[in-house]
Structure formats: C-alpha cells, structure tokens
Amino acid sequence: MSPKKMQSGKMQTARDGAAPAGAPITALREKDLLTIETLTVSEIDLILKTAESMKEILNRPVPKVPALLDKTVVLLFYEPSTRTRASFEMAAKALSANVTTLQAQGSSAQKGESLKDAAKTIEAIGASAIVIRHGAAGAPDLVARNVKGSVINAGDGAHAHPTQALLDLLTIRERKGSVQGLKVAIVGDIAHSRVARSNIWGLTKMGAEVTLVAPKPFLPMGIETLPVQISHHLDEVLPEVDVLYLLRIQLERGAGSWLPSLEEYVRFYGITVPRMKKAKKDVMVMHPGPINRGVEIEAAVADGPYTVILDQVQNGVATRMAALFLLLGGEKSPEGGLL
C-alpha cells in the first residue's frame, strides 16, 4: 500500500487494500493473533461482533459459559501488566478454560531457558493457547512458529498490541456507532508505542483518518510508510477530532532522555481542562493505561465526562474472550449454538 497524504488532503487508508467489509465470515484464517496489520476488515468485524456477544454473556447473572471447558490457556508475561493480564485471565475463566499464569521472575527464564524452549515446554504440558507479553518485538511470532497451538500477542516491545486496538475499536463503535470517517488524533510517545502501531492499522482499516500528534523525537522512524497524517501542533488538530487517543511517555523504554523538558512537553501536549475547551463537545478521550496524571492528562480530564478509559478496560475482557473463542473454539459463531 502506498502512503498517506494525497494532494486533496484526503487520506488513503489501509482499508483500500483490505478485504471488503460486509463479506461475512465465521472464522479467523490464522491459528494466531499476532498483529492487526495482517487481519482483514471482515476478520476485525468478526472479532468485534463476537466481543459484543461476549458482553451479553458477561452481563448474565452467571457470567460464564462452557465454550472452552477442555482448553488450557497459559499466560506468559515477561513484562509488567495490570489490565491485559487480568482481563485475559478473566476472559479465559469466563469461557471455562483452565488458566495458568507464568512471569519471567520465578520461571526458568531466570536459569537461562530460551523463549523457544519455554514455549515448547508449555505446549508439552498441555497448553492449547499461549498469551505472551514480551519486551522484544517479534517474540510472539517466534513462539507461534514453534508451537502447534494458538498464540496471542499481548504486547511485544514497541511493535504491536492487537487486542488493545480491538478493544479500542469496540469502545469507539459503541460510542460513535461506526469508526468509518472519524478523525482520530493519537497524541504522545508514538515512537515507543505498540498501542499506537496497532491502532494505526486498526483505525485506518476500519475507515478512520488518523493524525499522529507529537514532538519530533516521539515520532517513529519509517513514519512515511504509515497511512497517517502528522502534526506537531495539538491545539490546531484538537478542534477537528472525534477521538483523542493519549499515550504515556514510556520511561521504561528510555523515552525520558528523548525530551529536553518534560515541563515543555506538558505545556504543548498535555490534555488539560482549559485545552479541552477547544475540543468538540462529543469528543472521546481514550488512553490504553496506565495513565500518568499531570503529564499527558490532567487528573480532572481523566476523571471527567469525556474519558472512556474504564470502558476500554471493561471491553478488554469481552474482546479477549472473543479472541480466545475464535482461535480455540473453531468455526462456530456465537449464534452457532456453542455458547
């Protein structure tokens, strides 16, 4: 796909090269969920529709179904997580799967075991699926190539976080009805953000126009290959956007040293109550979490009426149920009787 800003200012989107929407499907093509980039529009649609069915299950008095009673899901988390790990665990349990969680600390990774050997070992013990978070981009792909079961990428380095983007799409669709035609600004430390990369693909495939808003050091290399527009001026972009997607500065990936002044960053890119007065009345403020209050978002905005941050977290369970169900439950749709 060729990039980006066309002469008219109209965006060419990833959707232009993707499968047409509306071709209903009942199964994903691959055994794994590693990136959004490789999903078709129909596959994204299937996951979102399945997640909507999962939300209905989660609202029942007994929020549990026997869909994956015979499956074992292993969560392999080599990096810290609150939201993703907890929601995958809850998702697997709501589908009646057995769940085991392993962290690098306390596992044989500390004794020098390779990721490939760890994955093969976990599969030999009986895992039907491995959900992996790792600091190295490509780690989930390595695992997927070395096991027969399904692998879900729960975040790898600065590369991808597909279930985050899917739960974000679900949240936007619920609030706005459709993603098609929406203007979305992704603001902050994009260079280090796997969430930004997955959302760029997810949003543009589903027909949104995406603008990345950041100071130069926070824009990724190779940005010219992405189907997005670029701005360094949040105050110019803000009045136009339907969705404001904020990112934290990823200090654990060394981002702190990329900025001459945090104070200056907050002044130009921090979302404050006065700055929100320039935004549309119905703008959605999103953030994958964890948030850094007083940096990318002022506390009063984080806790205010624009934000859907907790809706995103809540949708994480249903979205991850959908991913596990579709990868492990075979071709049957929720309407197909399995649930």
Instruction: List residues binding ligand CP (CB under 6 A).
Output: 81-84, 155, 164, 288-290
Q: Which of 111, 148, 277, 281 is catalytic?
A: 111
Residue closest to ligand CP, measured at CB: 84
d(CA 162, CA 166): 6
Residue (290 or 330) nearer to ligand CP, CB: 290
253 is catalytic: no
Least spacing, CB of residue 261 vs ligand CP, in Å? 26
Rg (alpha carbons) of the chain, rounded to whole number: 20
Least spacing, CB of residue 66 vs ligand CP, in Å? 27
By CB atoms closer than 10 A (0-12, 13-18, 19+), residue 318 is buried
38 is catalytic: no
Q: Which regions of the chain does DSSP assign to beta strands (E)?
A: 72-77, 98-103, 129-134, 150-156, 183-187, 209-213, 229-231, 243-246, 284-286
d(CA 226, CA 220): 10
Q: Which of 71, 85, 133, 205 is catalytic?
A: 133
Residue (75 or 241) nearer to ligand CP, CB: 75
Residue (41 or 158) nearer to ligand CP, CB: 158
Least spacing, CB of residue 315 vs ligand CP, in Å? 12
29 is catalytic: no
d(CA 253, CA 196): 15
Least spacing, CB of residue 170 vs ligand CP, in Å? 14
Q: Which of 49, 83, 93, 120 is catalytic?
A: 83
275 is catalytic: no
Q: Which of 71, 159, 161, 205 is catalytic?
A: 161
197 is catalytic: no
292 CB-side CA count, 13 A: 13
* 228 neighbors 4 (Cβ within 8 angstroms): yes
Please give the positions annotated as active site: 83-84, 111, 133, 161
